[in-house]
Amino acid sequence: MEVINDESPRVILEEYKVTQNLPNGPTVLNEIFSIKTFKKKFRIVIIRNENHEMEFDMIGIHPFLANTFRRLILSDVPSMAIEKVYISNNTSIIQDEVLAHRLGLIPLKADPRLFDYKEDATAESNENDSLEFELKIKCSYNKEANKKDSSRVEDMYKNNNVYSKHLKWIPVGNQKERFNESDVGPIEPDILIAKMRPGHELDLKLVAVKSSGRDHAKFSPVATAFYRLLPDIKLLRDVEGEAAYRLQSCFSPGVISVRNEKDGKKVAVVNNSRYDTSSRNVYRYEDLKDAVVMTKIQDHFIFTIESVGAMQPDVIFKEAVNILRNKCASLLEELNSTS
């Protein structure tokens, strides 16, 4: 296996094992790697940021720190979610506890930075720590519909489907002056809560509070947050003709492309290693396994954050950074006080 000579620490994906290739100089994986060097080499490159999803590269960072941000995003960055459901009437077929669980999982638009943590769970709600909603809906026959002409439930009944748009915000204190209903209600209006038939009725009061995923997953501000090492693929020799297409099929779409040379030859080239999933299918072919070397750069992380919508992914990441900074400051203060 050819050794990759550059300044990046790598893992090399061989047929039956994974080996490590470290450069001669200090890297982020070495204990002698200084803060000064870290500041010089560390970079963040935003690849895309759209539709509540952001992908960015963290370059020159230790794996433990990348994982720290992931865990902080999932467990420590707070959000608002429905915590208590007071059920005055539920004649639907959904049990009370299942209904309450569904309501708790509805993501809310409310910005958690504008609210305080509720110190006493048994205390009355106030404008600074809670949001209140009500859900009053009853299913009935649609008298205007011609039942003989249509058997669709949407034509036969009214309010047969209960959606998140049916939640009505009840301002507490001065919240009406501070917020609009569109700023604190459900992120999506068409989240299905229950299906009902004539005679079924819901009469509920809901209380949303601020908390974090450490308390319950419903308070996590993201659908997911994950990272992976940046793949790097190098071709060690020319692969032409039919073999080029076989090589292309061994990798994810977009990784290898086949280029037409001036002399009419078709040659495989690396188009974009980023999309590789490390399948190692190339080792199935004896004539191709020595033509490529697959590595992953150990200090280059592709980080993806998918927000549920209350906060944009870049804001969520900044909140995670602030939380880590506050934790470090608290630890240093505690250490200094005991020394």
What is the distance between the alpha carbons of residues 263 and 243, in angstroms, rounded to a whole number? 17
Please report which confidence band the pLDDT of residue 89 belongs to, taking 50, 70 and 90 as the band edges. very high
Helix (H) or strand (E) holding 178: helix 175-178
pLDDT (mean) for 228-249: 94
Please compute the mean of the pLDDT values over residues 101-107 and round it to a whole number.
Answer: 96
Which tokens in the block code for residue 184? 């604190």
What is the per-residue pLDDT for 209? 96
Name the strands in the sheet holding 168-170, side by side, starting at the edge strand that comes first in the sequence.
79-90, 201-211, 130-138, 168-170
Instruction: Tell me the per-residue pLDDT of 40-57, one tens digit each, with 9 for 90 and over.
Output: 888 999 999 998 999 999
Q: Output the CA torsion sign for 313, 319, 320, 322.
A: positive
Task: Give the model's confidence band at 3: pLDDT under 50 very low, under 70 low, under 90 confident, else very high.
Answer: very low
What is the dotted CATH code of the domain comprising 79-219? 2.170.120.12
Tell me: domain 1-77+220-233+291-339, CATH 3.30.1360.10, correct? yes
Nearby residues of 72 by Cβ (< 8 Å), 6 or more positions away: 320, 323, 324
Q: pLDDT tens digits for 64-73? A: 999 999 999 9
CA dist 240 → 85, 237, 269, 282, 284 (Å): 66, 10, 10, 15, 18
Identity of the residue numbered 174:
N
Burial tier of 98 (Cβ tally within 10 Å: 0-12, 13-18, 19+): exposed
Cα–Cα dist 304/311, whole Å: 15
Q: Are 222 and 69 in contact (CB under 8 A)?
A: no
> Domain limits of the chain?
1-77+220-233+291-339, 79-219
pLDDT single digits (tens) 144-196: 766 556 678 888 889 999 999 999 999 999 999 999 988 999 999 999 999 99
SS (H, E, C) 30-81: CCCCCHHHHHHHCEEEEEEEECCEEEEEEECCCHHHHHHHHHHHHHCCCEEE
pLDDT of residue 145: 67
Q: What is the pLDDT averaged over residues 2-29?
A: 76
Distance CA 12, CA 22 (A): 11
* E strand spans, the chain: 10-13, 18-21, 43-50, 53-59, 79-90, 130-138, 140-141, 157-158, 161-163, 168-170, 192-195, 201-211, 222-235, 256-260, 266-270, 292-307
| Nearest Cα residue to 124 out of 180, 172, 179, 177 | 172
Task: Give the pLDDT confidence score for residue 1 in this predicted structure.
Answer: 42
Q: So what's the pLDDT on residue 20?
A: 85
Looking at this protein, which amino acid is placed at residue 69?
F
Between β-strands 10-13 and 292-307, what pairing exists: parallel, antiparallel or unpaired?
Answer: antiparallel
Same fold, 1-77+220-233+291-339 and 79-219: no
Q: Which residues contact 168 (CB under 8 A, 6 or more apart)?
A: 133, 134, 135, 136
Burial class (CB in 10 A: 0-12, 13-18, 19+), 292: buried
CA distance 77 to 65: 16
Quick: pLDDT tens for 303-338.
999 999 999 999 999 999 999 999 999 999 999 987
